[in-house]
Amino acid sequence: MEQYWMPRKLDFKNLRHCLDNYQTNWLYIRLKGSSGGTVKINQSLENKCLDFRKNKSGLYLLVDSEEVFHFPLAGYTDKHSKGFSLAYERIQPTEDGIGRMIMLGTGIDPYDAKLPEPRRSFLRHVLDDHLLEIFFKGRIPVKFHSWWQEPHWKYWTVV
């Protein structure tokens, strides 16, 4: 699936915007590098409200106002180049009716008319040696923000 990187300085603004404006349906947190082996949270968010709180102690994820995970944000600074990324799950229809996931690299136009509309959007980040993925129904629109490394790497932001 294609990923659209966003500047780290906009991390919590983008997270707040997504949670306030788009419907979440899953929360997944695991140790990075474990390939799904050390899962900390794998929870449906259907009919639940995901929120966050950030203070000097770090980032707290809340489901229905109850804390479910704490990231201390050790070593987190705006000096790091990458922040959240937004990825799309696109399914190409097949003759058997099941469909197959389309795997695209970076640098793809997110609005290419030849591609099927995304079924889900994933907001992803590695924080404190954990992979955080928040799944949303449908497309979260993105727009060009700036160049990370011109002419091949762009930064995006959510709309």
Q: Are 25 and 136 in contact (CB under 8 A)?
A: yes
Condensed to tens digits (0 to 9), the pLDDT of residues 34-80 reads 676 799 999 999 999 999 999 999 999 999 999 999 999 987 875 65
Q: Quick one: pLDDT at residue 31?
A: 92
Whole-number Å distance between alpha carbons of 8 and 101: 28
pLDDT > 70 in the chain, percent = 91
Q: pLDDT tens digits, residue range 112-121? A: 998 899 999 9
The pLDDT assigned to 3 comes to 87
pLDDT of residue 33: 80
Mean pLDDT of the 22-36 span: 89
Residues in Cβ contact with 124 at an 8 Å cutoff, skipping those fewer than 6 apart: 3, 84, 85, 86, 87, 131, 132, 133, 134
The stretch 110-133 carries a mean pLDDT of: 92
- pTM score, whole prediction: 0.89
pLDDT at 1 over 60: yes
Q: Does the pLDDT of residue 123 top 80, yes or no? A: yes
Mean pLDDT, range 144-159, rounded to an integer: 82
Q: Where are the domains of the chain?
A: 3-158
Question: In angstroms, what CA-CA distances link 72 with 28, 53, 61, 127?
Answer: 17, 12, 11, 9
Is the pLDDT reported for residue 104 higher than 80? no
